[in-house]
């Protein structure tokens, strides 16, 4: 992953499971998913939302435009000079541009499967955020299959890099093995981080077993408890020096992140460096989920993420319920889809498992989350939702 980690026992076990899953997926050449392509022709779900009249975040539309038609095998247009990541191994993308003083413009990074970075969830978490109307708090990501030129560049960068971290060495071996196999290297492209982004470790108890937990004394986490007073629109909250935002807006944003973390089975949000904030053009602070790859939607279900909060955005919950209804009864349709397998692949769950498994696991996870929301509403009434 791009940010630094304190890997606990749970994370180590999960990382080992992801390495095993990665090996299986590489060996099978991802036969069950959509046909691999090495350029981005479109964004089916995002385009369907826009066609329905939903306004996407400026970041989202900006990166959609930058990536549309991008083919990283076009060596006359793209170059690769640097890896990124601390435990994971990712490749920075530079679009050659002689008009820029640097000689290039960033096009983000290509992220292959790493032991602690799951590109499927990077894409899926962002697009779930968009479906709920909160893509502004997620770092944009899209599926991408690296072609032979890009794979050769990644191989060269990895082989020439000095890598001593144990997990990075494991990732190095796995990625090189995947490239050597000649199989398509599936992953995602991920937007460059916002220049104003900064970690908010104050909201995390990084020492909690097994791999961190929310700091229940943080004002935002307190507001996400149904037993607490409602957050107030127009009241300012200082998250960090120079980062001031609206109390209600921030609480809604973080509640949505916690909902999606529960759906995707995020185990690494609170290990350190993975709760991030940034500023908008007016200087107001917002949450910014930049690193979502420490999750596995297909893993065994755990209620761990749900037990940490009990106040929800009503509209976001309804939109999750709409997805669940479609997965349960495909004939009802959703956003133009009548095939759940096509939907989950377009959502971003396309590389580690077959679409049948992803449909089953997403349906299961949504069911558990919605059951928890319903039980919370039964207990607390309207206090379970932002007013």
Residues 168 and 222 in one domain: no
Residues 89 and 209 in one domain: no
The model carries a pTM of 0.90
Domain assignment present for residue 2? The answer is no
307 plus 225 within the same structural domain? yes
Which of 155, 190, 225 represents a domain boundary (last residue)?
A: 190
User: Could you tell me if 168 and 271 lie in one domain?
Assistant: no
pLDDT of residue 30: 35
Strand partners, 109: 92, 190
Q: What is the pLDDT of residues 54-102, one digit of tens each?
A: 999 999 999 999 999 999 999 999 999 999 988 899 999 999 999 999 9
- Give the H/E segment covering residue 270: none
Is 4 within the bounds of a domain?
no
Number of structural domains found in the chain: 2
Task: Look at residue 146 and give its three-state secondary structure.
Answer: strand
In terms of domains, do 223 and 157 share one? no
Looking at residue 277, its pLDDT comes to 98
pLDDT at 183: 87
**Is 267 in contact with 370 (CB distance < 8 Å)?**
no
In this predicted model, what pLDDT tens digit does every residue of 340-385 receive, in sequence order? 999 999 999 999 899 999 999 999 999 999 999 999 999 999 999 9
Q: Which of 190, 219, 250 is the endpoint of a domain?
A: 190
Q: Are 313 and 223 spatial neighbours (Cβ–Cβ below 8 Å)?
A: no
Query: Tokens representing 381?
Result: 């009434």
**Regions of the chain where pLDDT drops below 70:** 1-38
How far, CA to CA in Å, does 329 sit from each of 323, 337, 351? 10, 12, 25
Q: Coil, strand, or helix at residue 211? A: coil
Question: Domain residues for 63?
Answer: 9-190
Q: Is 66 helix (H, G, I), strand (E, B) or coil?
A: helix
316 and 268 share one domain:
yes
Residue 20 pLDDT: 38
Vertex 197: Cα angle to 387 and 100 (nearest 5): 130
C-alpha to C-alpha distance for 27 and 44, rounded to whole angstroms: 28
Q: Which residue among 159, 190, 221 closes a domain? A: 190
CB 235 within 8 A of CB 229: no
Single out the residue of 264, 268, 293, 267 nearest to residue 362, CA to CA. Answer: 264
Residues 179 and 302 in one domain: no
178 and 36 in a single domain? The answer is: yes
What is the DSSP annotation of 317-356? HHHHHHHHHHHH-GGG-BTTB--HHHHHHHHT--SSS-HH
Which residue carries 């435990």 as its tokens? 87
Q: Helix, strand or coil for residue 63?
A: helix
């Amino acid at each position: 992953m791009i940010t630094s980690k304190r890997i606990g026992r749970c994370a180590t076990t999960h990382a080992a499971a992801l390495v095993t899953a990665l090996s299986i997926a590489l060996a099978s050449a991802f036969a069950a998913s959509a046909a691999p392509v090495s350029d981005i022709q479109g964004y089916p779900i995002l385009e369907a939302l826009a066609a329905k009249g939903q306004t996407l975040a400026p970041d989202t539309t900006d990166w959609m435009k930058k990536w549309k038609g991008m083919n990283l095998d076009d060596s006359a247009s793209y170059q690769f000079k640097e890896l990124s990541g601390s435990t994971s191994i990712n490749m920075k993308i530079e679009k050659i541009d002689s008009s820029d003083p640097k000689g290039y413009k960033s096009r983000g990074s290509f992220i292959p499967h790493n032991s602690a970075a799951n590109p499927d969830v990077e894409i899926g978490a962002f697009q779930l955020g968009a479906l709920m109307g909160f893509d502004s708090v997620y770092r944009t990501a899209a599926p991408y299959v690296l072609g032979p030129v890009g794979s050769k560049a990644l191989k060269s960068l990895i082989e020439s890099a000095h890598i001593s971290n144990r997990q990075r060495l494991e990732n190095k071996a796995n990625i090189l093995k995947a490239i050597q196999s000649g199989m398509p290297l599936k992953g995602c492209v991920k937007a460059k981080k916002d220049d104003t982004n900064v970690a908010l470790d104050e909201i995390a108890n990084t020492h909690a077993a097994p791999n961190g937990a929310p700091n229940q004394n943080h004002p935002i986490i307190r507001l996400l408890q149904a037993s607490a007073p409602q957050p107030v629109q127009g009241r300012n909250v200082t998250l960090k020096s120079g980062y001031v935002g609206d109390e209600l807006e921030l609480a809604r944003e973080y509640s949505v992140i916690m909902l999606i973390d529960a759906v995707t089975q995020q185990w690494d949000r609170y290990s350190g460096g993975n709760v991030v904030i940034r500023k908008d053009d007016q200087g107001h602070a917002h949450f910014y989920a930049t690193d979502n790859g420490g999750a596995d939607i297909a893993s065994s279900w755990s209620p761990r993420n749900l037990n940490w909060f009990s106040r929800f955005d009503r509209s976001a919950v309804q939109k999750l319920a709409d997805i669940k209804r479609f997965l349960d009864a495909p004939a009802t349709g959703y956003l133009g889809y009548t095939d759940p397998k096509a939907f989950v692949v377009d959502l971003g769950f396309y590389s580690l498992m077959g679409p049948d498994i992803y449909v089953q696991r997403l349906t299961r996870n949504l069911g558990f989350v919605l059951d928890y929301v319903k039980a919370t509403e039964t207990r607390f009434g309207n206090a379970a939702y932002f007013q």
